[in-house]
Chains A and B, each alone.
Chain A
Amino acid sequence: MSTPPMDELFGDIDLEWEHRKNRAFRSLCFLSSILGLAALALLIADVLWEAYRGVSEYDIGIIHFITSTGSVNPDRAGMYGALVGSVLLIVLASIMTFFIGVGAAIYLEEYAPDTRLVRLIDANLANLAGVPSVVYGLVCFGLLINGPLDLGRIILVGAIALALVVLPIIIVSAMEALRAVPDSVRNGSYAIGATRWQTIRRVVLPAAMPGIMTGTILAIANAWGQTAPLLMVGAIASARHVPTGPFDDITALTVTIFDWAFRFQDQFHVLAAMGIVGLLVVLLGMNMVAIYIRSRYEKELS
């Protein structure tokens, strides 16, 4: 018995055109992803090259760069003060937003009745997350520095500005994480005689926590890279100034890089590139932690 030829069996099916469409679309998608990646790679390569010039041409030691504080003299300038400012800002903003953000998400997802008002708030949270961050800086400037209150250009005000930027992002991502917990699990808890709070505390939150943490870390990474709102509340490049607390003058890494990049000496441009590398290293670290949490705890529920 011989196998019948291909044409005899499937001759009536013409897939030539379908396959061609398939190939064309695949190439298109491949091209777009390559373009995006190439642009990113180019940027990073440029920054790395500039930073490398700092180490080779200007002989700036990496340790020296990290441990010394800004100065008008590029030979003595470093990112220490600015780094301390950024860390203070981020820590304060995180403390302010995590509990409020997760609390708001729990209320909206688990408690709030399904009324028109709640749905309006729901929809507008996403809009708030999309408001340009400079606007939040302006609001803080208007309310806390040059308005009803005059707290001055201090770290705390910058942290509040950053908190406003990340709060809607945290709320939205925490709500998504809570929504991903299937109702069957909630019902299982209610059906055994758990109260709503017990259900949230013991079942829903633990199940949603990896998602909430991932979203929070990404939101904080976003805050870490913010420049505009800090400029609006009067952040200055760190020159000989290492902030020691929330009421100290505000300075931040991004703002310092911004300042360096606009000096006329080439050595400052190189310093800016080195600062950017520092910024990126921290960002990369945060993203890696987020990815780790996601892959470590992600498990099919239901």
Chain B
Amino acid sequence: MATQEPDDKLISTEVSADETVRNERPDETVLAAKDLDVYYGEDRAIDDVSIEIPENKVTALIGPSGCGKSTFLRCINRMNDQIDVCRVDGDVVFKGKNVYDGDVDPVALRRKIGMVFQKPNPFPKSIRENVTYGLEVQGKPATEGDVERALRGAALYEEVHDKLDTSGLDLSGGQQQRLCIARAIAPDPEVILMDEPTSALDPVAASKIEDLIDTLVEEYTVIIVTHNMQQAARISDKTAVFLTGGELVEFDDTATIFENPADSRVEDYITGKFG
């Protein structure tokens, strides 16, 4: 095994100035999983996962295909309720409340925890209607200002401000994904879940979204699933490594995970020995 000297980095994690500032804030846990098991029928997809996710940080979930990253993400906002065969065992605690308690309405939960999907999925509606949708279903009237703020927040405003009434489906893939981010942040949630938000995009569009995540985290807690190791290293503060079987093998500061992982399987995964 390679000796872990400081300059023997597996993957470089250049840390930007504001990220350093971010890292110095004490961690407030906003979301936690406790002994979480998830089953699809008889098959276990998540195996006894416990994790504490800090507020206003970017947490990356990485791991080989099929290891349960998307499943874990969907547990947080209870999108798994949508899947008939899916059964969840254990707690997901959001700000002290177990979201699987009987008195938690998943609709209300999802108003606090937004989500961006792997494949851009704008509604077949105008750009404006896409952005105002979340506010409207929550019974809050949406103003022009709300639309502009959300689109600026998603770094899309400059490109679409003169065609807000054209269909969201007429945008490019990268623009569609940023529209989906605008849609998610318009109702001002507290946490944003992203499932491989850049995997369907070209590198330029992807890097725009990476920059965006860097600014989003000022206001929101971001949890992002990614297959792209460099991306996780670049944008996240914390990294959780899942391995096949739905096991959370290691969860630590991103720099530690990429430079000096405790578990040899994590190192093997990161260096591409398997996965």
Question: Interface on A for B, CB 8 Å cutoff?
Answer: 113-114, 182, 184-185, 187-195, 198, 202-203, 206-207, 299-302
Contact = CB atoms under 8 A, between A and B. Distances in A.
Given A202-B133, A202-B137, A299-B167, A191 B115 contact: yes
A195 B121 contact: no
Interface residues of B, number: 29
Contacts of A207: 123-124
Contacts of B124: 185, 203, 206-207, 299, 301
A301 B125 CA distance: 10
Given A192-B110, A194-B107, A301-B169, A187 B134 contact: no
Contacts of A189: 123, 133, 137
B246 interface: no
B187 A187 contact: no
Nearest to B115: A191
5 contacts: A193-B108, A193-B134, A193-B137, A198-B137, A206-B124
B125 A192 contact: no
B135 to A, nearest CB: 9
B110 A193 contact: yes
B117 A193 contact: no
Nearest to A114: B84
Contacts of B136: 202
Smallest CB-CB A-B distances: 6 pairs: A193-B111, A191-B115, A184-B121, A193-B110, A194-B137, A192-B134
Contacts of B134: 192-194
A191 B119 contact: no
Q: Name the residue in B115, B137, B169 with the highest tally of chain A Cβ atoms < 10 Å from its Cβ.
A: B137
A206 B77 CA distance: 26
B232 to A, nearest CB: 22
A24 to B, nearest CB: 42
B57 interface: no
Contacts of A301: 124, 169
Given A191-B110, A192-B134, A299-B167, A203 B123 contact: yes
A257 B204 CA distance: 68
A191 B79 contact: yes
A192 B109 CA distance: 9
Contacts of A190: 79, 82, 110
Nearest to B119: A184
A188 B123 CA distance: 8
Contacts of B180: 188
A195 B123 contact: no
B107 to A, nearest CB: 5
B79 A193 contact: no
Contacts of B77: 191
Contacts of B117: 184, 187-188, 191
Given A114-B84, A187-B82, A301-B169, A193 B138 contact: yes
Contacts of B133: 189, 192, 194, 202
Contacts of A182: 121
A292 B268 CA distance: 59
A190 to B, nearest CB: 6
B114 interface: yes
Contacts of B167: 299
A299 B110 contact: no
Nearest to B123: A203
A195 to B, nearest CB: 5
A115 to B, nearest CB: 11
B1 to A, nearest CB: 42
